[in-house]
Amino acid sequence: MPVKKRTSQNILLSTALENFYGAAEEMGLDDDLVEILSRPERSLCVSLPVTMDDGSIRVFEGYRVQYSTALGPAKGGFRYHPNVDLEECEALGSLMTWKCSLAGIPYGGGKGGISCDPSELSMPEKERLTRTFAARVAPIVGEWTDIPAPDVNTGAQEMVWFMDTISKMRGRLEPGIVTGKPVSIWGSRGRNAATGVGVATCVMELLKTEGVDVKGARVIIQGFGNVGSHAALTMVKSGAKIVGVSDVTGGYYAPGGIDIRKAVEHVNANPKKTLEGFKGPGLNKIDGDDILTQETDVLAPCALEGAVNAKNAANIKARYIVEGANGPVTPEADEIVGEKGIMVVPDFLANSGGVIGSYFEWVQNLNGFFWTEEEYNHRLIPIMTDNFYRVWNYSREYGEKMRRAAFLVAIKRVADAVKMRGTFL
């Protein structure tokens, strides 16, 4: 009996399922494995009553999805955003599964989050919310079961609250239960920049394979948060020219190049941590979405999903797209840019530096032995480079687009593990 394909109205989950089913069909994956791998192993929904600063109680909705643990503990961040729901977490958990598999690290995939607007919460309210979430998901997380990490609107502080809550509940320190902690509290030097360094590594290796000189190559980065800024800093060190950046305040485009170090300094000095008010030679302030359609060699969308979609894909002028965010190019847009001859390096390859870096932090936590930042990057960059060429070579050998090649490589590793381990529990 043929597999009945799952569908969803959620764009991110629909995209994830479409990509999975397409790859599974092409590789001739057994129907039983298709059924197993198209569904998460466990999904937890929790209600989070929080005492607000005014004394009232507000109940938030939280989620944690363990999509697959075939290769190891579930790994994936938790985010704070108004659009967080169960299907989004499932989609991102599946993406983390393929990302960890492709990276060759001993992790499965998971994701979580809380439906909220963090900009409306005070610091004490965020702390109470985070600790309540940690307590609610405590039964299913652990150093060898599920290891959360920072994601959209969460960072080192939330990870410390999460770790501290679980540790106190269990009566023992468990630093390896989350990654993305500050260096001063069991964190890892190099982890903060890892995702951006990984994106930059993919950009530079792509240009080399295409015979494009990295020095002087034009790059636009949509999203100038942690990932985008570190990707930009890494690329300019190799001679690339960043001609456009953007954040919630708009787009900043300069055909002659932007002084990225000054842009980072501006953001760090700005109380709101944005580019608002940033100026430079030849710099034009434009609408944030318009940054995507400016002239460039490489476009690196490093913000939220769906940035490149059916409405703007035909206007993309980049030669290459390297996905720093999760799901920034929709399937419809993927088809359009493909017809235009634009090569896309998929998200779960390009932004896997973060989870590889998380793996490094976890290893250090389990051993209680820490590396220098140089040691960290000495291990990170070769892994990213090897992963890039594994997908690149497969795509060239079998005539596949990079995204499909990455899915085929990643799904096979998970499927092989499921077959070997069997279906008991």
Residue 154: strand, helix, or coil? coil
| Domain CATH for 296 | 3.40.50.720
Query: What is the model's pLDDT at position 36?
Result: 96
pLDDT along the chain (425 residues), means of 10: 84 88 93 96 98 98 98 97 96 94 96 97 98 98 97 94 98 97 95 93 97 96 94 96 96 97 96 93 94 97 92 97 92 94 95 94 96 93 95 94 94 96 83
Predicted pLDDT at 1: 59
Decide: 109 and 148 in contact? Cβ < 8 Å: no
- Where residue 123 sits, what CATH number does that domain have? 3.40.50.10860
Q: Are residues 158 and 283 in the same domain?
A: no
Q: What is the pTM of this model?
A: 0.88
Q: Same domain for 202 and 78?
A: no
Per the annotation, the verdict on 181 as an active-site residue is no
Q: Are residues 156 and 297 in the same domain?
A: no
Calculate the alpha carbon distances from 367 to 54, 165, 188, 364, 380 in Å.
44, 22, 13, 5, 18
Pick the catalytic residue from 4, 5, 75, 111. Answer: 111
Examine the domain organization and report whether 150 and 50 are in the same domain: yes
Separation CA 312–CA 333 (nearest Å): 8
pLDDT for the residue numbered 94: 95
Domain co-membership, 205 together with 340: yes
Q: Are residues 163 and 203 in the same domain?
A: no
Range of the domain at 59: 41-176
Q: Quick one: 53 and 133 in the same domain?
A: yes
Question: Domain ends where: 315, 345, 375?
Answer: 345
Q: Taking CA 394 as the corner, what is the angle to CA 232 and CA 337, rounded to the nearest 5 degrees?
A: 55
pLDDT at 11: 83
